[in-house]
A and B are shown apart, each in its own frame.
Chain A
Amino acid sequence: NAGVTQTPKFQVLKTGQSMTLQCAQDMNHNSMYWYRQDPGMGLRLIYYSASEGTTDKGEVPNGYNVSRLNKREFSLRLESAAPSQTSVYFCASSSSGMFGTQYFGPGTRLTVL
């Protein structure tokens, strides 16, 4: 099992460019999450999907959109990147009812110039 995979690992964008971060899990989990990690601020939830077909905003959703493509895949899109979105992005998944036990991907390090 690969667990949670994320692509790409690194990305550099110019202000105003768009991109999609991909995430997939092979653990048959219902719930998936996108976080950003910034120095001294821990992890902040951007969006989550409690089950296939549903998505909800987290703490910092502005500037992002998500798509729960199917049970395995949950993508995060930046429509018009800004320097404030420079961060490390993590995808995670969990099974229903055990949403505190989350499995994390290796992260995508994004720099917006």
Chain B
Amino acid sequence: GEDVEQSLFLSVREGDSSVINCTYTDSSSTYLYWYKQEPGAGLQLLTYIFSNMDMKQDQRLTVLLNKKDKHLSLRIADTQTGDSAIYFCAETLSGFQKLVFGTGTRLLVSP
């Protein structure tokens, strides 16, 4: 199947770290992506990781990839209220020029 699964909701306090998890299905996915959607807007690419990598760091963002368990996570350090949004993970399917998105995790950051 093509299901990419995420938990629906995460709530953290400002300054804490947030960890958003995702499980994907296609073991041959070449790239895995994290997109962010702010209220009333389209999706915006945050970061991506190539499948031969275990970890990628980009400022406050850390992506971890466990290929054995088909598990992807996004860690946001020092979470700010401006990070409140919906976060989608996505995978590319081998042989297809398209993305499959997860259901999205709504992150709420409280002061």
A interface vs B, CB < 8 Å?
A: 4, 31, 33, 40-45, 48, 50, 58-59, 90, 92, 99-107
Contacts and interface: CB of A to CB of B under 8 A. Distances in A.
A61 to B, nearest CB: 13
Given A90-B42, A101-B45, 4 more contacts: A42-B103, A99-B99, A101-B48, A107-B41
B44 interface: yes
Most buried by B among A31, A44, A101: A101
Q: DSSP majority for the A interface?
A: loop
Contacts of A59: 2
B88 A33 contact: no
B92 A42 contact: no
Assign chain B's interface to a size class: 20 to 34
A48 B44 CA distance: 18
Contacts of A101: 33, 45, 48
A42 B102 CA distance: 6
6 contacts: A42-B101, A45-B99, A50-B97, A102-B99, A106-B41, A106-B42
A107 B42 contact: yes
A40 B8 contact: yes
B63 interface: no
Given A31-B97, A99-B97, A100-B92, A41 B43 contact: no
Contacts of A104: 42-44
A42 B88 contact: yes
Interface in B65-108: 88, 90, 92, 97-104
